[in-house]
Amino acid sequence: MSDILTISELDCFYGEVQVLHGLNLTLAKGEVLCLLGRNGAGKTTTLKAIMGLVPVAAGSIRLGDRELTGLPAHEIPKTGIAYVPQGRRLFAEMTVAENIEIGLMTRGKGKAVREAVLDLFPVLRERLKQRSGTLSGGEQQQLAMARALCVEPQVLLLDEPTEGLMPSMIQKIRETVAQLRGRGVSTILVEQRVDAVLSVADRVAFIENGRNRETMPVEALRADPSAVRRYVGVG
Amino acid sequence: MAFGPHLLLASLEGLVTAAVLALTALGLSLVFGVMRIVNVAHGEFFMLGAVLAWAITTAITGHPALGFLAALVIAPLLVGAVALVAERVVLRRLNYNPEATIVATIGLLYIIQQLALTFYGPEARPVEPPFNYRILLPWFGYSGYKLSVVAASALLLVATWLVLTRTKIGMVMRATQYDRETAQAFGIPVERVYAGVFALGAMLAAVAAVLIVPISQAHYLMGQDPLLLSFIVVIIGGLGSLRGTVVAALIIGLSDGIISVFFSPTLAKIIATFLVAMVLVFRPQGLFGTTAR
């Protein structure tokens, strides 16, 4: 598979503190790559750096042939990268329909995309006029994904999408990620739950202290889960 | 005058104050709510609107309504342009840092004020109202122009509400207000939104000034009271809330009008300040405000 996203020698800082130290990653077309690591390892910062939401001090992020570092943050989603942030970050005072509309506006998508997304998450269709902050946790996560899918992304960044959800909803999220992979969407998934990763990911990258320590196919991780103990601290 | 008509007169005066205050405070509230910037120079945009209204009405001869209508269109546009330049040259360079922009807008306040003093002078100058018509009530006559100020303010407030709630521009502004980072992640050019909101806020203040200047006169220090009252309204109403701004402006405007007439203007100010203190203690986000990321 050809790489759609390539991150090379990426350095990022929060003020004086360096969070990413020469991070390297590749994402192939239609692949689900999972980032695993302890809290503070740099997983979320990696996603934010791709989205241009934290400044990149050095290194390169390429989407196909296009360099993303240096682009204003609001231009990056227009290249076809969508982001589901940790904690969903819905526009809570706005309705479900308005949140979806914001997603559609990102790349000027219309009714057809809206309908396709609502078909994927039918519960949202019944709640279009409801304020998004009043939805249940599972519904909010579906809306966060729906809003991102309205971008019609080539690359989808999911930051802990199963956090705090009940098992049926986690299953729904997994199914959606698998469905998107079938459509050729590449996904970077940040997860804490190793079981959730094994069922959906193609490869796993272990992030530690802002570096990619090891990347392996999920089959290799199933055969030898010692890396999980080494980098995440659980077995 | 009997108590009832006296109360009606005080209420009408309060309503005029409330209408103009709502427009001025809405501008401050939008800037405060969307950009998280305390624009201390907001009152100077108000003053600039009034001074420009005087200049435009003086330059245009003929029926006073012609000059006034021209001022109503041109003055807010010019003030909006000044605000755009200030946003680009000052606020953007400070990365909209809340503390730094307070100091910067204090500087802006003095620059605008001193430029007005230099080029306009220290005199208070009248602007002729576009029409002189008194509505004769059974107990007293009342200025038709003052009532038209209330109507015009109400129309502008409704128009702003429609823009904020029914248009894509309004949706983008609200999204930026609720979560700047997520807005960027969905392609919203936050800096451009900020520039637009800052200009819009200044234009609302300028429109309010053009409407009130035939009643109050243009003066280079006239921005101070509207600034103080706008802060009171914004704190009581809640950051960036149009509904809160209107309700708080009505409370402050009407109480100011009524208490000033029946007791004293000082007591009206004491009550307004007391209200602000109560809101800050018991509901810091204001009556209709929400917290944002």
HEC assignment per residue over B140-169: CEEEHHHHHHHHHHHHHHHHHHHHHHHCHH
CB pairs under 8 A between A and B: 62
Q: What is the CA radius of gyration of chain A?
A: 17
Contacts of residue B183 in chain A, CB cutoff 8 Å? Answer: 102
Q: How many CA atoms lie within 13 A of B14 on its CB side?
A: 23
pLDDT confidence tier of residue A2, bands split at 50, 70 and 90: confident
Sorted by sequence, the CB contacts under 8 Å of residue B78 that are 6+ apart come out as B48, B52, B206
Could you give the residue ranges of the DSSP H alpha helices within chain B?
3-30, 42-59, 64-86, 98-119, 144-166, 168-178, 180-185, 190-216, 224-237, 242-262, 265-282
- Does the pTM surpass 0.95? The reply is no
Query: What distance in Å separates the CA atoms of residue A80 and residue B102, rounded to the nearest whole number?
Result: 38
Of B175, B189, B190, the CB nearest to A91: B175
Instruction: Decide if pLDDT at B265 tops 90.
Output: no
Query: What distance in Å separates the CA atoms of residue B45 and residue B206, rounded to the nearest whole number?
Result: 6
Contacts of residue A85 in chain B, CB cutoff 8 Å? Answer: 181-182, 185
Residue with tokens 């810091």: B284
Fold of B9-132+139-282: ABC transporter involved in vitamin B12 uptake, BtuC (1.10.3470)
Q: What is the rounded average pLDDT of the residues B203-230?
A: 95
| Domain spans of chain B, in order of start | 9-132+139-282
Instruction: Decide if pLDDT at A196 tops 60.
Output: yes
Span of A147-151, A187-191, B68-72, B271-275 with lowest mean pLDDT: B271-275
pLDDT (tens digit, 9 = 90+) per residue, A80-134? Answer: 999 999 999 999 999 999 999 999 999 999 999 999 999 999 999 999 999 999 9
Over chain A, what is the mean pLDDT?
92
Residue with tokens 């003066």: B219
Over chain B, what is the mean pLDDT?
93
Q: Which two tokens stand for residue A33?
A: 């790559």
Among A68, A75, A105, pick the best mutation site for testing chain B contact (most B Cβ within 10 A): A105
> pLDDT: is A226 or A59 the higher one?
A59
Q: Which two tokens stand for residue A172?
A: 């729904």
Q: What is the rounded average pLDDT of the residues B146-150?
A: 96
pLDDT (tens digit, 9 = 90+) per residue, A126-157? Answer: 999 999 999 999 999 999 999 999 999 999 99
Query: What distance in Å separates the CA atoms of residue B200 and residue A149, rounded to the nearest whole number?
Result: 33
Query: What distance in Å separates the CA atoms of residue B99 and residue B53, rounded to the nearest whole number?
Result: 33
ipTM of the complex: 0.93
Instruction: Decide if pLDDT at A1 tops 70.
Output: no
Contacts of residue A71 in chain B, CB cutoff 8 Å? Answer: none
Span of A64-68, A81-85, A149-153, A228-232 with lowest mean pLDDT: A228-232
Instruction: Decide if pLDDT at B291 tops 70.
Output: no
Instruction: Decide if pLDDT at B292 tops 60.
Output: no
The residue count of chain A comes to: 235
**pLDDT computed for residue B290 by the predictor:** 66
Contacts of residue B285 in chain A, CB cutoff 8 Å? Answer: none
B172–chain A Cβ distance below 8 A for any pair: yes
Q: What is the rounded average pLDDT of the residues B226-234?
A: 92
Q: What is the rounded average pLDDT of the residues A168-183?
A: 90
B174–chain A Cβ distance below 8 A for any pair: yes
Contacts of residue A106 in chain B, CB cutoff 8 Å? Answer: 186-187
Instruction: Report the sign of the C-alpha dihedral through residues A130, A134, A136, A141, in that order.
Output: positive
Residue with tokens 């796993």: A204
Query: What distance in Å separates the CA atoms of residue B162 and residue B157, rounded to the nearest whole number?
Result: 9
**pLDDT computed for residue A234 by the predictor:** 63
Among B182, B193, B288, B290, pick the best mutation site for testing chain A contact (most A Cβ within 10 A): B182
